[in-house]
Structure 1
Amino acid sequence: MVFLGSLCLILVFTKVAGHLCNRIGVPAVIGELLVGIILGPAILGWIQPDAFIHYFAEIGVVILMFIAGLESDLALLRKYWKPALSVALLGIVFPMVFGFGMGELFGMAFQSSIFLGVLFSATSVSISVQVLKDLNKVDSKEGATILGAAVVDDIVVVILLGVLVSLFNTGGGDSQPLPFMLMKKVIFFIVIFVLARWVVPMLMKISSKMLTIEAETAMALIICLAFSYFADFMGMGSIIGAFFAGIAISQTPYKHKIEKKIEPIGYAVFIPVFFVSIGLNMDFSGFGEQWLFILLLTVVAVLTKQFGGAIGARVTGFNWKSAAVIGAGMVSRGEMALIIAKLGLESNLLTEEFYSSIIVVIIATTVIAPFILKYTITKQDESLKLN
């Protein structure tokens, strides 16, 4: 029953670490990562990345991506689709190109360099949203554009990730002809669209009429797991299916009810284990040789999102002050990049040699992002007062 002690340690330390991080204005996810590093093989060695941790972490990341899909506001995207699309696409192109260049510069394999570009194309605006709330900017045009762009960013990056994992087929499966793999992708998206458009709303409606406890919540989880299994079966990765399952349910009247029920399940147990599992895989033995890689990649990660997002906003009519705010709002990589990094390690698209360094860069961008956003908003407010 050692696993019970491990789970107890993880829950105690992650909640304490999350509390302390929130007190000092640092994202709670950073504390959870540090718990994994401290309790894991890198320092104390109290918890090992065994099968129990692996399966709990897998459930955690599926639930986390399901919640991300649930929180995707397609109505907001439809309202601000032009600036959101421009910000998201340029905010993906810049990091992809320069991320790939960084991988090639430091001798990564070709597929790993491409993966590095995709990884740093991801955005996690949960931290930016908190800053926008604190400064009463969520309902501003800049805030709405950031949120809309985040939806586009998530969808595009998730699709790119699924295709990348499938095409390079590094997980140990049998190789398949390229036309067959592409056909599977097309079939996957057609099936997902049909299920999301007609089947999911029907199933949720049926569950609401069932005379059993938490039938709607159970149905939402069934849909999430079924989509995840189907995505994995089609070579897209389970988190891709979970994300689209969340989007499907977000378009039904049950969205907010399911959010309230699923979040406690995920954030109480499974999601903390996922973030701890990332820390458990950290290895600091090669850090002395990779300090330049970490420094340069951090600078590239911040600047490419900042300028890509800002230029995307500028070409759709925003002035430079507003464009700077929008670009800053897209800088944070947060949990989205951590999920992708973990998947890359498991799919052999990312080697252990670079894994720990990349996690450090993700943490750095996540910590830096709120300060950049606050600074750009302050500058914008000062400019408006002068005018």
Structure 2
Amino acid sequence: MVELNIVNLLMVLAAAWLGGILAKRMGFPSILGELIIGIILGPALLAVLETSDDLNILAEVGILFLMAYIGMEINFKDLGKASWAGLLAAIGGFVVPFVLGYYTILYFGGTNIAGLFVGIAVGVTSLATKSRILVDLKLLDTRIAYVLMAGALISDTLALVIFAGIIGYVEAGSIDTAGLAWVAGKAILFFSIAVLIGIYLFPLLGKLLTKAKLTSRTILFTILIVMVLGFSELAELAGLHGILGSFMAGLFIRDSVFSRQILKDVSAVFHDISIGFLAPIFFVTAGFHVTLDVFQTDLALLICVITGAVVGKILGTTLFYLPSGYGWREGFTIGTGMNGRGAVEIIIAGIGLQMNIISQEIFSILVFMAISTTVTVPVFLTWTTNWLKKRGELVKQDARHGYLILGANPLGLYIAKQLAEQNEVILIDYNKDLVNEANAQGVKAIYGNGLREDAFEAANAINKNTFIALTGNSEINLLSAQLAYNSFYIPNRIVLVSPVENGVGINLLDHMDASSLFANKTDMVPWSYKITTNNFEEKKDKIEKEISTRNWFKHSAKNKDILPILILDENGIKRPFHYKDIIKSKESVVYLQ
């Protein structure tokens, strides 16, 4: 019987928390800190912590939940926007380092199976790492962001499929034709059953639960765990590893079982249980299995594996990306972004060690490879994206378009009519009279609460590029902007800040990566009245020298009551006037006076 050593568990969790916090503060993913703290406090160095059967069980459950969460985070609709380019990046970024990793192990006397495992490990890329870095670098609305996410998904999925085949082969322990056919048949049967359950049974279950009013978070969280563990066991029965089953479960759970709001609540709890509790145990204890002897006994192999991983990923992505027609520089940038490894690589390496397919030395090399490549991603990706920006080659992704505006008041309607001349614009308001008036004037408006997801869904928020919160309440504006990003990933968020609410300032907007409308605190009531009574003039100021919106406002608003609403570029394309923007030479500012 396995007894839980609570003191040891507390020390591992405390170590994971400390390592994760330090890594995040340095701009790296938390798993990097968890791995390093495991190496430092584990047998490799200080030997303060040690593994145990109870920790191993928790760690195994942790990787099942983590793989399910990774699956739940994947949005096929968004990834499809860059499917061809993402496929090219994934193939090049996986195949080339895979081949280099495989032959490196063979060259140093390793087995074919060990070479395949190392090849998979160096071929994967970290989806979670990319998400965080893309947010930090404000690249979510660029083409390389979609290609990176698509490439990460495809390469990791490809790695898991090959991994499943190797596991099936190892479990079968036979090389005859009949044995391999049996392994392949079971794998195909697993994928077939999993897809059928995911496409047909999961949505039916969701409808039945809603009809029976079994929608409490506790019940649905329990059902989610049953689904994940059920798919994991199904994979095990097929001779595969449970992580493949949990990953498949996460893919189908995302939108097929629960509504968006329920899914958000349940996945938040699942996130806390997996990433906040169980998964860190796995990554810290993974550090326990690392040996520093490789720096003396296998230094050449360590250098070759890391070099092959970096060069293979970047060069492979660059070369295979050329047929996309987007240029080698963009391919090179994507290669640097895909260079980081993470959860999937460590999980695969850990399973290989557990099954005695790879040695402790090779496992240690793969851990150091994951650490070193992950560290390079923020540095390399920042440099390469700035390089593209300077050359004017950082392309915005046009898959999202149009504006979603909260507030059908006279000022909101006035701006919406201006923007609607060139873009799709949808208004949301909780006042039916204002909604009816907007629709009567030819601007699409939806009746709904700007703090509820159903209103955003009705407005097709998932495909909008910019959200503007234009109510008289700054708190509502901020909360709705957070909802627009957290639930619908709208990349650009512009918020009206009222001068009477001192608690809302630029610092708070910076924290949530939003910008202030009109580049200044503004009381919308008098301007709405002026528009309603037609007591205003619309004027235009052509800019001769580049200037920030904030400086333009400070210079132009002296002793004048003005409201800058739009910027027109040289081609007459309009965009909202807000704090985080630069007015270029020959552009014009449209303002009310």
TM range, smaller chain: over 0.9
User: CA 1:96/1:170 → structure 2, altered by over 3 Å: closer, same or farther?
Assistant: farther
Match of 1:249 among 248, 253, 273: 253
The 8 Å contact of residues 10 and 35 in structure 1, kept in 2 or not, is answered as: no
What residue is the counterpart of 1:223 in the other structure?
227
What residue is the counterpart of 1:205 in the other structure?
207
User: Among the aligned pairs, what percent are the same residue?
Assistant: 26
The 8 Å contact of residues 49 and 281 in structure 1, kept in 2 or not, is answered as: no
What residue is the counterpart of 1:48 in the other structure?
50
What residue is the counterpart of 1:128 in the other structure?
130
Using the TM superposition, give the Cα deviation of residue 42 of structure 1 relative to its aligned residue in structure 2, in angstroms.
2.0
What residue is the counterpart of 2:75 in the other structure?
73
User: CA 1:221/1:276 → structure 2, altered by over 3 Å: closer, same or farther?
Assistant: same
Query: Quick check: 1:178 aligned with 2:186?
Result: no
Normalised by the length of structure 2, the TM-score is: 0.62
Query: Quick check: 1:240 aligned with 2:276?
Result: no
User: Separation in 2 of the partners of 1:132 and 1:276?
Assistant: 26
Using the TM superposition, give the Cα deviation of residue 248 of structure 1 relative to its aligned residue in structure 2, in angstroms.
0.7
Using the TM superposition, give the Cα deviation of residue 213 of structure 1 relative to its aligned residue in structure 2, in angstroms.
5.4
Using the TM superposition, give the Cα deviation of residue 2 of structure 1 relative to its aligned residue in structure 2, in angstroms.
6.4
Q: Equivalences for 1:1-387 in 2 at 5 Å?
A: 3-169=5-171, 177-208=179-210, 209-210=213-214, 214-252=218-256, 253-254=259-260, 255-384=263-392
Q: Equivalent residue of 1:47, what SS?
A: coil
What residue is the counterpart of 2:409 in the other structure?
none
Using the TM superposition, give the Cα deviation of residue 107 of structure 1 relative to its aligned residue in structure 2, in angstroms.
1.0
The 8 Å contact of residues 42 and 282 in structure 1, kept in 2 or not, is answered as: yes
The 8 Å contact of residues 172 and 183 in structure 2, kept in 1 or not, is answered as: no
The 8 Å contact of residues 41 and 48 in structure 2, kept in 1 or not, is answered as: yes
Worse-matched range after superposition: 141-150 or 304-313: 304-313
Using the TM superposition, give the Cα deviation of residue 73 of structure 1 relative to its aligned residue in structure 2, in angstroms.
1.5
**1:16 partner amino acid:** L
**2:171 partner amino acid:** N
The 8 Å contact of residues 171 and 347 in structure 1, kept in 2 or not, is answered as: no
The 8 Å contact of residues 204 and 216 in structure 1, kept in 2 or not, is answered as: no
User: Separation in 2 of the partners of 1:171 and 1:183?
Assistant: 16
User: Separation in 1 of the partners of 2:219 and 2:335?
Assistant: 42
Q: Equivalent residue of 1:366, what SS?
A: helix
The 8 Å contact of residues 122 and 153 in structure 1, kept in 2 or not, is answered as: yes
**1:107 partner amino acid:** G
Taking only aligned residues, the RMSD between alpha carbons, in angstroms, comes to: 2.1
**2:69 partner amino acid:** I
Using the TM superposition, give the Cα deviation of residue 256 of structure 1 relative to its aligned residue in structure 2, in angstroms.
3.1
Using the TM superposition, give the Cα deviation of residue 223 of structure 1 relative to its aligned residue in structure 2, in angstroms.
0.3
Structure 1: which 5+ residue stretches go unaligned?
Answer: none
Q: CA deviation digits over 1:329-357, x for unaligned, max 9?
A: 21111112111110111122211232112
User: CA 1:364/1:213 → structure 2, altered by over 3 Å: closer, same or farther?
Assistant: closer
Normalised by the length of structure 1, the TM-score is: 0.94
User: Separation in 1 of the partners of 2:101 and 2:393?
Assistant: 38
Using the TM superposition, give the Cα deviation of residue 47 of structure 1 relative to its aligned residue in structure 2, in angstroms.
2.7
**1:67 partner amino acid:** Y
Q: Equivalent residue of 2:392, what SS?
A: helix
User: CA 1:229/1:385 → structure 2, altered by over 3 Å: closer, same or farther?
Assistant: closer
The 8 Å contact of residues 313 and 326 in structure 1, kept in 2 or not, is answered as: no
- Considering Cα pairs closer than 8 Å and 6+ residues apart, tell me whether 1 or 2 has the greater RCO: 1
Structure possessing the higher radius of gyration over alpha carbons: 2
User: Separation in 1 of the partners of 2:107 and 2:125?
Assistant: 24
User: Separation in 2 of the partners of 1:363 and 1:309?
Assistant: 20
Higher helix fraction (1 or 2) = 1
Using the TM superposition, give the Cα deviation of residue 197 of structure 1 relative to its aligned residue in structure 2, in angstroms.
0.5
Q: Equivalent residue of 2:391, what SS?
A: helix
User: Separation in 2 of the partners of 1:366 and 1:170?
Assistant: 35
The 8 Å contact of residues 73 and 148 in structure 1, kept in 2 or not, is answered as: no
Q: CA deviation digits over 1:209-261, x for unaligned, max 9?
A: 22765111111111000000110111110000000000011232354333212
Using the TM superposition, give the Cα deviation of residue 385 of structure 1 relative to its aligned residue in structure 2, in angstroms.
8.7
Q: CA deviation digits over 1:272-309, x for unaligned, max 9?
A: 10101101111223430211111121111011111222
**1:68 partner amino acid:** I
User: Separation in 1 of the partners of 2:68 and 2:278?
Assistant: 13
The 8 Å contact of residues 207 and 219 in structure 1, kept in 2 or not, is answered as: no
Q: CA deviation digits over 1:145-193, x for unaligned, max 9?
A: 1111222112211111111111122899xx9711111111111111011
Using the TM superposition, give the Cα deviation of residue 314 of structure 1 relative to its aligned residue in structure 2, in angstroms.
2.1
User: Separation in 1 of the partners of 2:23 and 2:185?
Assistant: 46
**1:184 partner amino acid:** K
The 8 Å contact of residues 207 and 215 in structure 1, kept in 2 or not, is answered as: no
The 8 Å contact of residues 27 and 367 in structure 1, kept in 2 or not, is answered as: no
